[in-house]
């Protein structure tokens, strides 16, 4: 058997589980503006919150097309 330091080895959690645990344990919400589970108004709310808190995205597709 191989020895690993604490926190190494074992199985990795999938990204959605990490996000779920972050929300339940820390109250941190990680959501993609392109998440297919969201309706258009929900995606727009996420986009607006992101811009308000962190500024516009550098790869904003609307700006590139307009």
Q: How many DSSP H helices and E strands does the chain contain?
A: 3, 0
> E-assigned strands of 1-66?
none
What span, in angstroms and rounded, lies between the C-alpha atoms of 26 and 31?
15
Tens digits of pLDDT across the chain (66 residues): 677 777 777 788 899 999 999 999 999 999 999 999 999 999 999 999 999 999 999 875 555 555
What span, in angstroms and rounded, lies between the C-alpha atoms of 2 and 26?
33
Closest CA to 30 of 50, 58, 57: 50
Write down the pTM of the prediction: 0.67
């Amino acid at each position: 058997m191989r020895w690993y330091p604490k926190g190494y080895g074992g199985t990795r959690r999938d990204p959605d589980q990490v996000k779920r645990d972050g929300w339940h344990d820390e109250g941190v919400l990680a959501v993609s503006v392109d998440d297919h589970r969201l309706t258009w108004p929900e995606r727009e709310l996420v986009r607006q919150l992101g811009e308000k808190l962190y500024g516009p995205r550098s790869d904003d597709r609307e700006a590139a097309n307009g």
